[in-house]
């Protein structure tokens, strides 16, 4: 741990105290109602770690409401989610994001010239829930439901710098050491082996980009743990897919000042880990890469072409292999389990994403982009209220 500050303000966890922060957030609850959004798949509701997460959130009685952004396969998933939310002591609601009646409202929106019906994924679930939550919250935190080492400090750390009027932040993002302390294994593979070296290669190719410098200022740009003002969130266009985290940062770059963004230290932190395949982390990498290309085209007017992608792939592969050497040295000195062959094989898989994702981007550059809520409301003035009525059982 260090005390350095970079372009993005860093809030370190030297002596952060839950009771002190909770009392302050309680005192601000009426003036600044804040909540929590948790995107979740129906299949995840029965995970054993969910009960611990609910117990910890129940200690956060400063929360005005918890919104569960549910993607359900059917009524059984939804009813299970309703049973799960009964464990909450803080107010909570399940937003069934892909409910047939919700899709009916989106069909009406399509009839008014704004079509999001063909889009799907985590980003779309979050987008729907942001619209509903913004009707009653001034700020919200957001995180996934697969966190193994969940603590009441997680939403508290995220919301405190945003809600505290002595500070002047409207967006906070978590960062942490992706190390499993039980098996002493180093994770964070998409960031370590893909996004980090990719940003460096792109920076060299573009001979300095302000947007890339901004992304590199975050310790962990792919972290899904964040808090934001609701009125800022309604100004942001986000991807509907797994490029959500980079997409949010890209939109903040267009709409916000560095001085009002911070990141906050979560320390050691662990969650369930996916495999690197097209049903897991390769999909996340591909969607993130497409979001990155789209933003660079908008902000830096780069020309994406087949030769550009091939050149980028070659340069990325070499730099990623150099990074493996560095992580191997770090792991060896810290007595961490580190499979160098597995890391090299992961780089081989990830390098293929540059061509597959790049070609998908070239075929349809704006395919996954959702509209911001201001435009959506302009097309259908009561759309948020209609979605709330259909998505939430009252």
Structural contact between residues 167 and 270, judged by C-beta atoms closer than 8 angstroms: no
Q: 187 vs 65, which has greater pLDDT?
A: 65
**pLDDT bucket at 368, cuts 50 / 70 / 90:** low
pLDDT at residue number 101: 96
Q: Please state the rounded mean pLDDT for residues 215-237.
A: 92
Residue 101 vs residue 394, higher pLDDT: 101
Least confident of 102-116, 178-192, 376-390: 178-192
What pLDDT shows up at residue 270?
61
State the chain's mean pLDDT as an integer.
Answer: 91
* pLDDT score at 254: 84
Closest Cα to residue 138, out of 229, 26, 22, 37? 229
Residue 280 has pLDDT above 80, yes or no: no
What pLDDT score was predicted for residue 276?
61
CB 261 within 8 A of CB 203: no
Look at the block and give the residue holding tokens 């990623």. 320
Please name which of 60, 66, 49, 75 lies closest in space to residue 23, comparing C-alpha atoms.
Answer: 60
Q: Residue 234 above 90 pLDDT?
A: yes
High-pLDDT (> 70) share of the chain, %: 96
Question: Which of the four pLDDT bands, split at 50, 70 and 90, describes residue 1?
Answer: low
Summarize pLDDT for 298-326 with one digit per residue, the tens: 888 888 999 999 999 999 999 999 999 99
Q: What is the DSSP string of 232-283?
A: HHTT---BSSTTHHHHHHHHHHHH--GGGEEEEEEEE--B----SSTTTHHH
**Beta strands 34-41 and 65-71: pairing type?**
parallel
User: Residue 46 above 90 pLDDT?
Assistant: no
| Residue pLDDT, tens place only, 173-223 | 998 877 877 788 888 889 999 999 999 999 999 988 999 999 999 999 988
pTM of the shown model: 0.92
pLDDT band for position 147 (cuts 50, 70, 90): confident
Name the residue with tokens 């409301």: 377
Q: What is the DSSP string of 269-317?
A: --B----SSTTTHHHHHHHHHHHHHHHHHHHH-----HHHHHHHHHHHH
Q: What is the mean pLDDT of residues 248-269?
A: 87
Percent of the chain with pLDDT over 90: 70
pLDDT number for residue 278: 55
pLDDT tens readout for residues 330-360:
999 999 999 999 999 999 999 999 999 999 9
Mean pLDDT value across residues 145-170: 93
Mean pLDDT on 51-60: 94
| Main-chain dihedrals φ then ψ at residue 369, nearest 5 degrees | -80, 125
Copy the structure tokens of residue 106: 């989106």
* Cβ atoms within 10 Å of 31's Cβ, excluding its own: 9
Q: Which residues neighbour 173 within 8 Å (Cβ) at sequence distance 6 or greater?
A: 218, 220, 223, 225, 226, 249, 261, 262, 263, 264
Confidence of residue 274 (pLDDT cuts 50, 70, 90): low
Burial class (CB in 10 A: 0-12, 13-18, 19+), 194: buried
């Amino acid at each position: 741990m260090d005390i350095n500050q970079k372009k993005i303000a860093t809030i370190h966890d030297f002596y952060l105290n839950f009771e002190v922060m909770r009392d302050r957030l309680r005192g601000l609850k009426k003036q600044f109602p804040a909540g929590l959004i948790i995107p979740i798949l129906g299949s995840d509701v029965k995970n054993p770690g969910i009960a611990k997460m609910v117990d910890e959130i129940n200690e956060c009685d400063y929360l005005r409401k918890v919104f569960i952004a549910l993607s359900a396969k059917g009524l059984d998933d939804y009813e299970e989610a309703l049973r799960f939310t009964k464990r909450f002591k803080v107010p909570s609601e399940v937003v069934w994001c892909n409910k047939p009646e919700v899709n009916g409202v989106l069909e009406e929106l399509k009839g008014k010239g704004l079509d999001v019906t063909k889009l799907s994924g985590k980003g779309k679930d979050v987008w729907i829930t942001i619209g509903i939550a913004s009707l009653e919250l001034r700020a919200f935190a957001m995180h996934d439901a697969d966190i193994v080492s969940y603590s009441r400090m997680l939403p508290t750390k995220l919301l405190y710098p945003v809600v505290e009027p002595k500070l002047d932040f409207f967006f906070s993002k978590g960062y942490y050491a992706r190390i499993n302390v039980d098996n002493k294994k180093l994770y964070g593979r998409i960031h370590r082996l893909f996004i980090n070296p990719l940003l460096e290669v792109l920076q060299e190719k573009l001979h300095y980009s302000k947007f890339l410098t901004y992304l590199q200022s975050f310790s962990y740009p792919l972290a899904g743990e964040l808090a934001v003002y609701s009125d800022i969130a309604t100004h942001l266009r986000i991807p509907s897919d797994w490029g959500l985290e980079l997409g949010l940062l890209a939109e903040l770059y267009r709409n916000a000042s560095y001085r009002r963004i911070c990141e906050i230290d979560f320390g050691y932190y662990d969650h369930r880990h996916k495999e690197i395949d097209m049903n897991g982390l390769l999909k996340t990498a591909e969607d993130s890469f497409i979001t990155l290309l789209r933003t660079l085209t908008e902000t830096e007017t780069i020309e994406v072409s087949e030769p550009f992608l091939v050149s980028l792939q070659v340069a990325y592969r070499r730099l990623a292999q150099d990074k493996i050497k560095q992580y191997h040295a770090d792991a060896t000195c810290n007595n961490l389990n580190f499979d160098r062959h597995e890391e090299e094989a992961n780089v081989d898989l990830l390098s293929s994403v540059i061509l597959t994702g790049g070609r998908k981007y070239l075929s349809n550059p704006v395919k996954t982009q959702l509209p911001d809520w201001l435009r959506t409301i302009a097309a259908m003035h009561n759309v948020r209220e209609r979605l709330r009525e259909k998505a939430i059982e009252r």
